[in-house]
Structure 1
């Protein structure tokens, strides 16, 4: 996967906020933060002034582990997905021309497809969320 733009692309795994199952019988919780997965600290999403946007293209590697957890994002405790134990998932930074190697480990009991916003493919024009576009899709409990 390569980045093809004049500026830095920040790819954020929006999947981390997706709700796996929502029960109409869910009860509100008194203190939602007691039940939530670790929330990403707002400082993790501030643009860093030390990120060199003129650096030579390089390979950047990221490991993303997707797990099921319980969180009360809307005040009701539900099963949700977390990436690397946090909601939202980690920030992925890259410059134009960088090659990204992203390993997704699916620790859930369901299959999963990741949608890579801002990515381009040199070989085809299919949407980035289709099975098999970037190699195999993570099956249950594997990378």
Structure 2
């Protein structure tokens, strides 16, 4: 079983998948930071200084703990964070689309390259020699 596992791990596809997963995770973190820290603040400023992270629909205010100043039991729907997540998803989806589009373009160029015509088989070479010898005898 261990031998099979080593063979499985050593396959190129598994390594490629692992690298892709790691890259995607950190790419997602970069895009999330881009949305949260660069894109959304100017949009919030344009709509009267609203911070999208704080947009929420409060269902229950909860109670204030007088000792710590914390709000306990607050129930709210954080639709601002959801808007940020949607924008992050759109940016990531667009970036993945561009990568796949570029990959497909490169793949298509490789397919378009004319390949060398197949070499004649030994039988075809022999038949060609016989034909040439017959032509030489006749002419």
Give TM-score scaled by structure 1 length. Answer: 0.21
Give TM-score scaled by structure 2 length. Answer: 0.21
Which protein has the larger Cα radius of gyration, Structure 1 or Structure 2? 2
More strand by share: 1
